[in-house]
Structure 1
Amino acid sequence: MSILTFVGAGQMASALSFPVTQNGHQVRLVGTPLDRDIIDVARKTGFHATLKRQLPPKGVKYYQIEEITAALDGADAVLCGVSSFGVDWFADNILPLIPENIPLLSVTKGMIDLEDGSMITYPHYFASKLPQGKKLSINAIGGPCTSYELADGDHSAVAFCGDDIEILRMFKQLFESPYYHISLSTDVIGVECAVALKNVYALGVSLAVGLAQGPDGTGIQHFNSQAALFGQSMKEMKNLLLLMGGHEDNIIYGAGDLYVTIFGGRTRKIGALLGRGFSFDDAISELEGVTLESIVIATRTARSVRRLAEKGIIDLSDFPLLIHVDNIINNGAAVDIPWKSFETEKI
């Protein structure tokens, strides 16, 4: 039996307790300062308030953040379960506490843009934030997987990525189950870039959902326009993946993640509201209290692309959907899909 300490009691981290405990291992679920109520309720009833599922009755112990030292004592591995908004908190408060011999696996999807226009993955960002001289194996999960369906045992196929294939194989043994299927890759940039970008483009495709629904939300859903935007999304995502140094094969994880995100979740909601004619501020107000990581990654990606275009490294016209999404959320533009700019002529 291995002991895994999950830091962050969000939906995905908590859902991962199912395959781990079913494999006979123990999970120590540690809430962040924002998860106090989740941990309190789970301790009393085993029910996860936001995942809306009973967590495994055996093999899960619950800890508040001030009990982190006890939760890490004797652990064989650590899982980072915070959202993009908690990345700096995790880097500043948790990374220094993890012993060098304990590998880290992160569920957080996203990237950070730098002043020179480049972007780095969260694993690389975590590595840059380690105390001087400290080394830590930092790995991540990417791919199409919603937390509630994972908790229900629906078949899911993901990728674990990191620099050391042997550590990835160890993680696979801990997490793999008859319904949780895990591929392994040492192309951290490729996997992490692909799954981060899906947030940008899921919002873009969801604009078509709202346009079909109309201002009152009663219109019939159209699929041609969604499919067209999906295709344009894949084209731009592939170009960005190669630009950032990832292998194009990993686009499959972004494609799957894009597909599942379009069919439900927070990003679909904000995209549909914008498509129906809501201003960005009104759409955000409508979804008050909902964490929207898609806005963060869309802003960062567009900022990176604009900087690279200014340097003449890329042509901004190669990313019309990304730039339109950025103009909507950051410049107050109305939804007006740039259909003509998607057309090509191949000889």
Structure 2
Amino acid sequence: MSEKIAVLGAGSWGTVLANLLTENGHDVTIWAYLQKDTDEINNKHTNEHYLPGLRLNEKLVANTDLAESVKDADLVLFVVPTNVVRGVAKQLLPILEKTDKKPVIVSAAKGLEVGTYDRVSQVIQSVIPAEQTNGVVVISGPSHAEDTSVKDITTLTAASTNLEAAQYVQHVFANSYFRLYTNQDVIGVEMGAALKNVIAIGAGALHGLGYGDNAKAALITRGLAEISRLGVKMGADPLTFIGLSGVGDLIVTATSRHSRNWRCGNQLGHGEKLQDVLDNMGQVVEGVSTAKVAHELAQKEGVEMPITDAIYAVLYEDKPIKQAITDLMQRESKPEFDY
């Protein structure tokens, strides 16, 4: 059955998901902020800045008009940076209020909002009342756009307190290479999605400094422990963190050159300045802002997160990376598991 779908955001992940949904037989419009991006997608069927070499389905339509993009949509997919989700949701609300259509709202963004510490679904729900939607669903898991674009096998979690909405999203996205599992632990899925970006910066820094596999495995494993501690404190199910949106997403983000967060850390490890790295990246590095939010949230909640704190100190206090590593290794000895 063909659905009318609006994808908000024409970056790499938004473009790949819009193309996938089009190839699944749905009527898809991708909302782009810049006219040049819309023109390229509509006329050339490419998005070279984000996905060089990828030929998009000719049925995929792009538009800079938000109202036109979401008109009669059964599903609205947010794939914009975390720091602009609230602004886009505020633009979307009056459009939804003028129609009887109640779309399922889906978030594919991975981050925590600066200042409020809100997860993306919380941001959306704080702006758009429940009566204007047919449910809010979060999709997350190990998923580089570059791999999905060439139909590499990708598995994600569709999380919602509304199981029917999650199952609907599961059906809409499913194909021979893209599979979703449902989960009702929205907190855990979103916390894992956001916090793994911070650990990925650290993993990239280790690589840039020349450390080997032992160090990287240690960082990823102890990083997962930190993610789990804060997530559980916020109300998550601990089992979620050994699933796709936990350890699965952490592995792919902390080990791959496709990861912007890993690349950012790698360049920092080579001695480059943070602002230079961000200026040259050409895309948002979610882990940088999330490191600040996670550091502040952990302090507020009384949760110990030494790796996250160390990455925060490197990013925001100009602490030398090697000194941060030395300080981590010289911390007081303790049991691996605190029950």
By the TM > 0.5 criterion, same fold? yes
Distance 1:131 1:170 in 2: 20
CA 1:343–1:205 in 2, change beyond 3 Å: closer, same or farther? farther
- The equivalent residue for 1:217 is none
- The equivalent residue for 1:290 is 283
- The equivalent residue for 1:63 is 63
CA 1:272–1:126 in 2, change beyond 3 Å: closer, same or farther? same
Shift of 1:62: 1.8
CA 1:292–1:3 in 2, change beyond 3 Å: closer, same or farther? same
269-278 or 156-165, larger mean C-alpha shift = 269-278
Distance 2:272 2:20 in 1: 40
Counterpart check, 1:187 vs 2:195: no
CA 1:113–1:63 in 2, change beyond 3 Å: closer, same or farther? closer
RMSD of the alignment, in Å?
A: 2.2
Counterpart check, 1:24 vs 2:20: no
- The equivalent residue for 2:161 is 163
| Mapping 1:255-270, distance limit 5 Å | 255-262=247-254, 263-264=256-257, 265-270=259-264
Distance 2:72 2:164 in 1: 21
**Residues 163 and 186, structure 1, Cα contact 8 Å, conserved in 2:** yes
**Which residue of 304, 318, 330 corresponds with 1:332?**
318
Q: How many equivalent pairs are there?
A: 323
CA 1:27–1:226 in 2, change beyond 3 Å: closer, same or farther? same
CA 1:169–1:131 in 2, change beyond 3 Å: closer, same or farther? closer
Distance 2:129 2:230 in 1: 31
- The equivalent residue for 1:304 is 297
User: Structure 1 counterpart of 2:310, which letter?
Assistant: H
| Mapping 1:162-241, distance limit 5 Å | 162-212=160-210, 222-241=212-231
Shift of 1:180: 0.5
Shift of 1:14: 1.3
Distance 2:238 2:230 in 1: 10
Distance 1:271 1:123 in 2: 27
Secondary structure of 2:179's match? Answer: strand
Kindly provide the CA deviation profile for residues 257-288 of structure 1, in whole angstroms up to 9, marking residues without a partner as x: 12111212211122112222334345445x35
Kindly provide the CA deviation profile for residues 145-191 of structure 1, in whole angstroms up to 9, marking residues without a partner as x: 01121111000110011121111111111111111110011111011
**Residues 41 and 61, structure 2, Cα contact 8 Å, conserved in 1:** no
Secondary structure of 1:140's match? Answer: strand
**Residues 8 and 82, structure 1, Cα contact 8 Å, conserved in 2:** yes
Kindly provide the CA deviation profile for residues 217-264 of structure 1, in whole angstroms up to 9, marking residues without a partner as x: xxxx62111111111111111111111111112112222112111212
Secondary structure of 1:268's match? Answer: helix
Gapped runs of 5+ residues in structure 2? none
**Residues 113 and 303, structure 1, Cα contact 8 Å, conserved in 2:** no
Shift of 1:209: 0.5
Distance 1:298 1:346 in 2: 23
- The equivalent residue for 2:272 is 278
Shift of 1:41: 0.8
Secondary structure of 1:94's match? Answer: helix
Secondary structure of 2:29's match? Answer: strand
Gapped runs of 5+ residues in structure 1? 213-220
CA 1:208–1:135 in 2, change beyond 3 Å: closer, same or farther? same
**Residues 136 and 165, structure 2, Cα contact 8 Å, conserved in 1:** no
Shift of 1:60: 1.3
- The equivalent residue for 2:3 is 2
Shift of 1:45: 0.9
| Mapping 1:76-225, distance limit 5 Å | 76-98=74-96, 99=99, 101-112=102-113, 119-130=117-128, 134=132, 137-212=135-210, 222-225=212-215
- The equivalent residue for 1:218 is none
Distance 2:29 2:140 in 1: 22
CA 1:31–1:235 in 2, change beyond 3 Å: closer, same or farther? same
Identity %: 23
Distance 2:276 2:78 in 1: 32
- The equivalent residue for 2:39 is 40
User: Structure 2 counterpart of 1:16, which letter?
Assistant: L
